Amino acid sequence: MGLAHAARLKGDDVVALAMVGDGGTSEGDFHEALNFAAVWRAPVVFLVQNNGFAISVPLAKQTAAPSLAHKAVGYGMPGRLVDGNDAAAVHEVLADAVRHARAGGGPTLVEAITYRVDAHTNADDATRYRGDAEVETWRGHDPIDLLEHELTARGLLDEETKQAARDAAETMAADLRARMNQDAPLDPMELFAHVYAEPTTQLREQRALLQAEIEAEQGGTH
């Protein structure tokens, strides 16, 4: 929201896309951003990826609204609900919202309905809070499979193009992993810099503790 507003003040032709999860819509920042965006008619599109869960918390415990898109009404902006597993539909709705923002119409709230078929992280056991049947149903609605099926049925995708897309994706992923592994190691002591102009007593104590730990480790006593 801030970026979109700043861009407009500077006269830059920018539309910002802000993405948030269903759980994220319960945060105060979400409401403040939507409110300011609508009041200032900022060129921003809010995309809520509603995958049903915030880690283990289901949507019913995040909101009592009929849908997350409904929230747009209260802020005074258009709200759109779209099948998040239908790539063409998502593209259509977002393109519309971007055109609306670019023309000075202000923000749009888009809710894309989807599902998180895997656990939140590898530390999360999703079987504790949902059934297998539900997961299997959604596996059958994989957005990439659906798009592939649709394009193939329309004669717009052949085996060669599919393989080229898979190869390009693999190359991109491998390149990203390689570049991440090349990141220079960070100095852990930097954790304490730039927090306060004058470090607090507590921060100085923590800094000394970490320094001692690092020195002990380097000295081989651990």
Ligand X SMILES: Cc1ncc(C[n+]2csc(CCOP(=O)(O)OP(=O)(O)O)c2C)c(N)n1
Chain contacts with ligand X (rule: CB under 6 A): 21-24, 51, 53-55, 116, 120
Pairing mode of beta strands 44-50, 16-21: parallel
Q: Which tokens belong to 143? A: 């957005």
Would you say 110 and 86 are in contact if contact means Cβ atoms under 8 Å apart? no
The CB-nearest residue to ligand X is 21
CB of 173 to ligand X, least distance (A): 20
Which C-beta is closer to ligand X: that of 14 or that of 119?
119
Rounded CA separation 81/79 (Å):
7
What is the enclosing helix (H) or strand (E) of 136? Answer: helix 132-139
Helices 87-102 and 143-153 sit at what angle, rounded to 10 degrees? 100
Q: Which of 129, 139, 149, 177 is catalytic?
A: 129
Instruction: Assess whether 120 carries a catalytic annotation.
Output: yes
Which C-beta is closer to ligand X: that of 70 or that of 120?
120
Which C-beta is closer to ligand X: that of 8 or that of 62?
62
State the virtual CA torsion across 57, 60, 65, 70 in degrees, nearest 10: 70
Instruction: Assess whether 75 carries a catalytic annotation.
Output: no
CB of 118 to ligand X, least distance (A): 11
Which C-beta is closer to ligand X: that of 124 or that of 148?
124
Rounded CA separation 174/184 (Å):
18
CB of 31 to ligand X, least distance (A): 14
CB of 185 to ligand X, least distance (A): 24
Instruction: Assess whether 115 carries a catalytic annotation.
Output: no
Rounded CA separation 47/81 (Å):
10
Residue positions annotated with a catalytic role: 116, 120, 129
